[in-house]
Structure 1
Amino acid sequence: MLNRSRSTVLFTALAALMTVFLIIPFFLFLDIPVAQAVHPLKGTFAVKVGNMISWLASKNVIQTVTFFLLLAGALDGMIYGFGRRARSILLLALAPMAAMLIGDELKWFFGRYRPPVFFENGSYGFTWFSSEYMQNSFPSGHTLRAFSLASVLAFVLSRKKYIPLIVAVLVGISRVVVGRHYPSDVMFGGFIGVTCAVWGHYYLFREE
């Protein structure tokens, strides 16, 4: 158990370090050029597809899914015992819930301008402590929800673990394509989602 605890901490530290080293150059040099490159896509078929993909990880969809998963996991545990199946179902609910809670607080704390604000008046960066939608870009909520669910599914599925992760990546890309997020927002969201899934798995399955 001690080795697993250390490996989980090490994974988190390395993932955080890698995320920081990716976010900094994107924030300083690449976020705006990418946003400018996708901006002309506004109103095109690509954006319509992006919106459909984004919908898969919208807050209402994920909250509804996690609510029923939480009920299913609790009932399964009470009736059949909290074995691997019940804990897997609960993890599918708890990881996105934790990611959403953390993500909402970080969005408020950083208060980062969304791309539309840049194209409207040139504002870019952080305002700090803002609950305004157009100042809640960092991290991407859709991405953290998608990656938290996808990472849990990768843990619990016996085969084709890569499919949910591919869907999560597509959700992250869609947020940039539709012009709602910068790439660094997506990277941070992915890190939060994966980390919540990893730590949730550690706590629920550490006895195995």
Structure 2
Amino acid sequence: MDRPLSSSLWLLLAAAVLVAALLPFDGTISQWAQGLPGGIVSFNERITDFGTFAWMIYGSGSIVIIAYILHRVVHSDGFSSKAKTAWRLALYFFVTIGSASALVHLLKLIIGRARPELFLEYGAHSLTPLANEWLFESFPSGHSAAVGSFFGAFAMLAPRLRIVFALGALTIGITRIVVGAHYPSDVAAGLLVGLWTALMTAFFFARQEWLFRLDEKGWPRPKNSFHPASSA
């Protein structure tokens, strides 16, 4: 295994430790967040659904993706380059978001964690594997995985704005705690699933010389950061 992929596995392990560290505080933080002033809770309720996979694919999220693809296409030279840029960008977003969706829903089914709505009855750490019921699909957060993959993809393509994209993903993730849909560890895990799929898809694309190239340390970087005139 090459060094970057090995390092990425260590990052995944560190992320798992972070999620585990949140577990003892899940119930306390969840109950506190839901008890915030009504105006704060209402605001979070209004923006929380920006984190659905449906919003990413069929709603305003798709408009953002299309606008970004068009921007990149306009700045590409030649018809062939424009065509390659368009379909590779579309494929990158589709694979990243689609992989995150498949993975997070599989984990939800296997783990079967009770949602905060059932806190008084089941506590914060009750598991009912393979329940296949919404109330037992708390871990990981699907909304957080969606925004993690969405903003993670943009962060890989435009690394100078990674802090902005990270704050966007974190903001939607926090809303899931405030509205009582998820525990903090659910949100952390969901965000990490989304970010991980964006990174792993970028590794695959870099191996094909699509959109990304591997830098001198073996990590994927957007090709236009090597050659500003190239966007394919």
- Shorter-chain TM band: 0.7 to 0.9
| Structure number with higher helix proportion | 1
Q: Is 1:10 aligned to residue 4 of structure 2?
A: no
Q: Please give the residue correspondences for 1:60-75 in structure 2 after superposition, counting only pairs within 5 Å.
A: 60-64=54-58
Distance 2:163 2:85 in 1: 21
User: SS state of the match for residue 87, structure 2?
Assistant: helix
Q: Deviations over 1:180-202 (max 9, x none)?
A: 10011011111111110011111
Residues 187 and 200 (structure 1), Cα distance of their counterparts in 2 relative to 1, 3 Å cut: same
Task: State the structure with bigger RCO (CA 8 A, min sep 6), 1 or 2.
Answer: 1
Deviation (angstroms), 1:23: 2.1
Structure-1 residue corresponding to 2:42:
48
Q: Please give the residue correspondences for 1:164-203 in structure 2 after superposition, counting only pairs within 5 Å.
A: 164-203=165-204
Structure-2 residue corresponding to 1:100:
101
TM-score by length of structure 1 reads 0.83
Is the 2:55–2:62 contact (alpha carbons within 8 Å) kept by the matching residues of 1? no
Is the 2:27–2:123 contact (alpha carbons within 8 Å) kept by the matching residues of 1? no
Structure-2 residue corresponding to 1:126:
127
Deviation (angstroms), 1:56: 1.0
Distance 2:6 2:150 in 1: 20
Q: Deviations over 1:67-109 (max 9, x none)?
A: 7869x98xx8xx7366445323321222011000000010000
Instruction: Return the letter of the residue paired with 2:100.
Output: A
User: SS state of the match for residue 127, structure 2?
Assistant: coil
Instruction: Return the letter of the residue paired with 1:126.
Output: L
TM-score by length of structure 2 reads 0.75
Is the 1:26–1:184 contact (alpha carbons within 8 Å) kept by the matching residues of 2? yes
RMSD: 2.5
Give structure 1 stretches of 5+ with no counterpart: none
Q: Is 1:19 aligned to residue 15 of structure 2?
A: yes
Deviation (angstroms), 1:159: 4.1
Deviation (angstroms), 1:17: 1.2
Structure-1 residue corresponding to 2:31:
36
